């Protein structure tokens, strides 16, 4: 075998240009496959990150009317009770749940405009009444100041935290921590500024998701949930966000938490039936949405891979053609080897090895070209790229298989030559 490989490399080197042109079809085919697979993998990962949030694995459960979240500024829902401490602990103790938070929210409430002593103001910010699990569950971290402490909740302290967007808007010239702001004629102290651990650009499946995101872009303000009645109503509807231990468990965790939340629903005897039918807890299953979106692209990806496969097939035909030419050129050599005792299997192995070495070299060069091309394509179009080691190994092995399959016919022709007839040819 080693002798056959050595002879194969010597034959390739002695006909460098012809060998390269023969490998060119394999190089193009493998390069196309590597570039397409890398782009597909990168696009899938970017899609998952854009919808899921770059790995924080948070699933939102909220009360909705149809596709729209219930806005308590305009809609009064009376047949859903507050979530009890027992239910909160039951959800946090579910399998595969890393943490869970329960919060109240007003998004884009014009009556909640925030004013500062410096004369700046912030309208349409999202104001949240949160518990002490909020930052961890949502994948946030304190960038300056501090998080809420137990005494903030226990003593109803009027303190708030701002995200970086709200902090820049309200205090463009300086530090926000330690300053005071006025919300609805109530004065609050800013104790901290927070930000997301991983910033990402979301994708939207509905107008409500787009409008919600656009509103949240104005900034977010957190206050202890015990202070919520200072500004708003008692016993308003809470939302829940559950953080799964890993991305693949997001759907299961969301559905499990939804089942627990639905079990807390109490329908008043005087409740309007139409309201009951139109408002219900729903889980925002972004993992399933992302996978469904990725599945929609599969048909196009398969088409691209088929085109690359055709290029590889053409390369294989080119290998078979050049090997047939090589057998014709080396007929006398084959006859001489048979005359001195070379067996049919040895001749077959020599030409199959040469064909496999030829396409394997093409596969390796194709992988290199594919990696370069995928990064060039990413730089030109902004398409994300994820290099797949299994795909690279498969490409090299597959190129070797192509050489064996398309080199089989020329090798059989060489092995079946009659030594007397072969020696007569020039």
**pLDDT tens profile 307-353:** 777 777 777 888 787 777 777 766 777 677 767 677 777 777 777 78
DSSP conformation class of 157: -
**pLDDT tens profile 140-185:** 899 999 999 999 999 999 999 999 999 999 998 888 999 999 998 8
How would you classify the pairing of strands 159-163 and 186-196? Answer: parallel
Residue bearing the bigger pLDDT, 362 or 149: 149
Residue 261 and residue 192: Cα distance in Å, rounded? 31
Check if the beta carbon of residue 239 is closer than 8 Å to that of residue 79.
no
pLDDT of 279 reads 63
60 CB neighbour count, 10 Å cutoff: 16
pLDDT of 285 reads 65
φ, ψ of residue 134 in degrees (nearest 5): -60, -55
Check if the beta carbon of residue 383 is closer than 8 Å to that of residue 42.
yes
Give the gyration radius of the chain's Cα atoms: 34
Residue bearing the bigger pLDDT, 183 or 218: 183
**Residues in CB range of 201: below 8 A, 6 or more apart:** 50
pLDDT band at 271 (very low <50, low <70, confident <90, very high): very low
Alpha carbon distances (Å) from 415 to 179, 336, 337, 348:
89, 12, 11, 5
* Residue environment code for 298-309, b if the CB has 16+ CB neighbours within 10 A, otherwise e: eeebeebeeebe
- 3-state class (DSSP) for residue 146: coil
Check if the beta carbon of residue 281 is closer than 8 Å to that of residue 31.
no
Q: Position of tokens 């809470």?
A: 238
The angle, 0 to 180 degrees and rounded to 10, between the axes of the packed helices 250-262 and 286-296 is 140
pLDDT of 129 reads 93
CA dihedral sign of residues 419, 421, 422, 423: positive
Burial of 8 (0-12, 13-18, 19+ CB in 10 A): buried
How would you classify the pairing of strands 140-145 and 97-107? Answer: unpaired
**pLDDT tens profile 71-124:** 554 455 555 677 888 889 999 999 999 999 999 888 776 667 898 888 898 888
- Mean pLDDT computed over 215-232: 84
pLDDT at 290 over 70: no
Over the chain, what is the mean pLDDT?
Answer: 77
pLDDT of 217 reads 64
Residue bearing the bigger pLDDT, 32 or 212: 32
**pLDDT tens profile 22-71:** 788 888 888 888 887 787 777 766 666 655 554 568 888 887 765 556 65
Residue bearing the bigger pLDDT, 287 or 303: 303
pLDDT of 293 reads 61
pLDDT of 8 reads 65
Tokens, residue 66: 């149809």
Alpha helices in 217-297 (DSSP H): 228-231, 250-262, 273-278, 286-296
Q: Position of tokens 């656009």?
A: 214
Check if the beta carbon of residue 107 is closer than 8 Å to that of residue 288.
no
pLDDT at 201 over 70: no
Check if the beta carbon of residue 393 is closer than 8 Å to that of residue 49.
no
Spans of all domains in the chain: 2-50+296-424, 81-264
pLDDT at 404 over 90: no
């Amino acid at each position: 075998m080693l002798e056959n490989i050595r002879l194969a490399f010597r034959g390739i080197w002695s006909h460098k240009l012809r060998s390269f042109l023969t490998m060119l079809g394999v190089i193009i085919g493998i390069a196309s496959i590597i570039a397409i697979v890398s782009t597909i993998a990168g696009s899938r990962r970017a899609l998952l990150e854009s919808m899921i949030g770059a790995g924080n694995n948070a699933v939102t459960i909220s009360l909705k009317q149809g596709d729209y979240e219930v806005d308590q500024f305009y809609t009064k829902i009376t047949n859903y009770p507050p979530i009890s401490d027992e239910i909160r602990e039951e959800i946090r103790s579910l399998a595969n749940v890393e943490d869970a938070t329960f919060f109240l929210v007003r998004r884009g409430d014009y009556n909640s405009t925030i004013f500062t002593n410096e004369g700046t103001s912030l309208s349409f910010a999202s104001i949240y009444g949160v518990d002490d699990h909020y930052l961890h569950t949502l994948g946030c971290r304190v960038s300056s100041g501090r998080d809420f402490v137990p005494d903030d909740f226990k003593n109803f302290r009027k303190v708030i935290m701002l995200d970086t967007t709200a902090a820049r808007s309200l205090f463009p010239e300086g530090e926000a921590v330690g300053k005071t702001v006025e919300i609805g004629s109530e004065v609050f102290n800013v104790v901290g500024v927070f930000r997301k651990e991983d910033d990402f650009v979301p994708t939207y499946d509905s107008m409500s998701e787009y409008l919600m995101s656009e509103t949240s872009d104005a900034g977010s303000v957190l206050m202890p949930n015990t202070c919520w009645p200072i500004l708003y109503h008692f016993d308003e509807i809470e939302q829940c966000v559950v953080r799964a231990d890993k991305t693949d468990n997001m759907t299961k965790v969301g559905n499990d938490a939804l089942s627990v939340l639905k079990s807390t629903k109490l329908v008043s005897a005087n409740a309007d039936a139409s309201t009951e039918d139109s408002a219900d807890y729903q889980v925002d299953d972004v993992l399933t949405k992302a996978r469904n979106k990725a599945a929609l692209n599969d048909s196009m990806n398969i088409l691209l891979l088929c085109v690359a496969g055709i290029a590889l097939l053409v390369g294989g035909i080119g290998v078979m053609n050049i090997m047939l030419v090589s057998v014709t050129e080396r007929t006398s050599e084959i006859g001489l080897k048979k005359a001195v005792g070379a067996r049919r299997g040895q001749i077959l192995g020599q030409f199959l090895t040469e064909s496999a070495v030829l396409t394997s070299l093409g596969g390796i060069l194709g992988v290199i070209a594919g990696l370069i091309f995928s990064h060039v394509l990413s730089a030109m179009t902004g398409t994300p790229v994820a290099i797949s080691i299994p795909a690279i190994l498969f490409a090299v092995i597959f190129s070797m298989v192509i050489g064996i399959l398309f080199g089989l016919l020329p090798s059989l022709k060489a092995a079946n030559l009659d030594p007397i007839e072969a020696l007569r040819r020039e």
